[in-house]
Structure 1
């Protein structure tokens, strides 16, 4: 009975909840019960879904956790006519850069985490807009300042996926001395493409196999129910030979992951992904009780989750 109860608790842990013995999503390396899950624990308030309300929330989560090299311009109310660009990764994992061209670049893949990535981004953006050209970072918690949602307008982001990090030099005339660092970064980058038929779905080739990683906005419980319905009906095969192998949990959202046969490519996924999105919408609208087979499928999916943050 004890094992069964532990299993039930794991299955019922949603993206806005963290089990006491799981790693704290703040990235401290401590268990949740000894960090932000403790009374008064953690140095800052942990926000489970920090990018909610931002344009293209799912793409932002993908850029922060899953995509090697991508950019998207941001419309920032306080930036005047200066270009502000959201980037997956900047040189030396910099939080932000004030560029000689006058542009401001914000990095999503950074080393620090003060509990609310959206507030961190807003704080470093404000610093970068006032700084001389160079790297801008955070050395301490930004406190209770504005969040990125307070500064950004618009309803969607225009995400561009790059083959590597040559975009680091897009507004630079003199590139001498940067070749080695750029080559090293490019070697670590994997081929990636964003599907155009659906939102926030990214194909990638990691060498030994290909994957489709698709960040979805629906609440975890409803999404797991819908995926279980499709899985038990054999409707979750996104392409011939593909297999839904699990999902990532990041920043309050789930990202189902399919393994794909080598040679599939991104283009072959466009129509099947659009068809799957329609099937998923129908499954999400189905509020009937799960069958025994569907409950078993749901349990299997819930046990194949990896929490990133």
Structure 2
């Protein structure tokens, strides 16, 4: 069983296993000692029942779910409870007050299987990314209607050495995660002082900057001015938007294209590199706004001691990274849209 603990000085949030170790659910699970992937088509019975299975037939999308006795086997996207959840709706345990604050780690933890195949995220077609985003919208909307859910966190950790099926983690928290809370506070303070959104301003200023990567009608990709990781890039809606839940189908399809383009560009620039992809968005249960965006953090180097002071060192400038990513990503976009 896991628990939330808060640092008494910084109010930092930590999930701690209060028993034996909990393995992270990395999407390459084998069944017992057999060389069988439990997430492959035909092995649906080896996981817990899917809470959502998207099925595409004759141009129509159907939202189905499994039962204990029946598994949907013709899915294109599947959402299943994590085998090794970091949080649980059956969490129980003691509550303790400061200075040793803790509480049971209550929440939902799902894996969204983004492909029927063993493949790299960079090779997922834009059409399939659209299916992934539709499934993500569906599950996140449902989660925000549940009690005890203040924030739904969505992220992908990719490591070619141990990830077979590309997948996203969907985890809920009973309060806003500290980094999101800090970002929300900073953005709202800027809005109150300047009368405009800092990310909206950033989009207009970065349009012709050396950090600009790719733009399409509703989205821009760029390397941030002060990144925390080499080759870090963001995908940002051009219009002010606080939640990807409100995207239209046209915007979903555009974002899917952008994900295909940028992850393909990253692969063509750095190879099959480890990365984390995190969605920063407002909580549906908070009045404070955050211009939502996607951050991709390639994991190229080990951390430095100076990061213990909250200061990051990068030996590659975002401008240099952007010059390489931009070239590769624009070639990828041209290839996808059929321009030679």
TM over 0.5: no
Give the TM-score, by structure 2 length. Answer: 0.29
Q: Which has the higher contact order (CA 8 A, sep 6+)?
A: 1
Question: How does the TM-score come out when normalised to structure 1?
Answer: 0.32
